[in-house]
Amino acid sequence: MYKFVQWFLRITGYIPSLFYFRRRKVYYENRNSQGRRIKGKAIVVSNHFYVYDFALYLFVFYQSNLRPLIGEALFHYNKAFNFLARAIGGIKVERDAYDFTFMSKAVNALNKKQKLLIFPEARFPLEHETDLLPFTPSFVYIALESGAPIVPVYHNKKFKKKGYTSCIIGEKIYLTELYDHSLNEKENVEHLTNYVRNYIISLGKKLDEKDKR
């Protein structure tokens, strides 16, 4: 069902998206390695500015249906948001309850060749927070368990920011290949979490350079 709903949103939301996102410019770190079409199972990992970030990626990855991991607050906000979150294939993350069943649901989805969208900052930045927030490590556990590659993405769309929206898609990252067996699991998870975060920070710098041209 979620695939139908996402295509419906793309069709009905295309014109409104032109006004909200303005000109959408998509850059690539290496287009031959990873373009806008994602083949096979994968986890798109991105920075997070606002609730409409998912809508942006509906159009950036218009050939791929992404199942987002969504915090429980949106599911509990009201019935309409609860219905929409479920309809688009959202996987609920109960952060305060320390309930990690979402991770097994995410792995099961990837084992079915589905694609996930994860915002590991886990919340929106405040006005004074200009750097990426620390990443929560759940996406690392999911990637290692499923063997799915990470597709790192950075975008510059802020809710009240003027100008057009741009994003950059990085090359796939296979965390299973970066796992260091000389380290214990906790050390590996911390290292891989920071590795992906730093990679996305570097994508943000590359996006700034491309936008200046």
Where the chain has pLDDT below 50, the residues are: none
Reference 56, options 19, 29, 98, 24; nearest CA is: 24
3-state SS class at 167: strand
Quote the domain boundaries for residue 28.
2-212
Into how many domains does the chain fold? 1
Cβ-contact 116, 110 below 8 angstroms: yes
Strands (E) across the chain are located at 24-28, 42-46, 66-71, 91-93, 115-118, 150-155, 165-169
Q: Output the pLDDT for position 123.
A: 81
pLDDT at position 72: 80
pLDDT for 22: 73
Beta bridge partners of 166: 25
Angstrom distances, CA of residue 24 to CA of 43, 163, 200, 206, 212: 22, 10, 19, 17, 15
- Whether residue 178 contacts residue 189, with contact meaning beta carbons closer than 8 Å, is answered with no
3-class secondary-structure state, position 56: helix
Whether residue 44 contacts residue 38, with contact meaning beta carbons closer than 8 Å, is answered with yes
User: Which among 154, 86, 85, 163 is positioned nearest to 121, based on CA atoms?
Assistant: 154
Threshold 0.85, pTM exceeds:
yes
For residue 126, what pLDDT is reported? 76
Q: So what's the pLDDT on residue 162?
A: 55
Cα–Cα–Cα angle for 201, 75, 141, rounded to 5 degrees: 45
pLDDT for res 77: 75
What's the pLDDT score for residue 124? 75
Instruction: Return the pLDDT at 202.
Output: 96
CATH number assigned to the domain comprising residue 83: 3.40.1130.10
Q: What is the pLDDT of residue 18?
A: 82
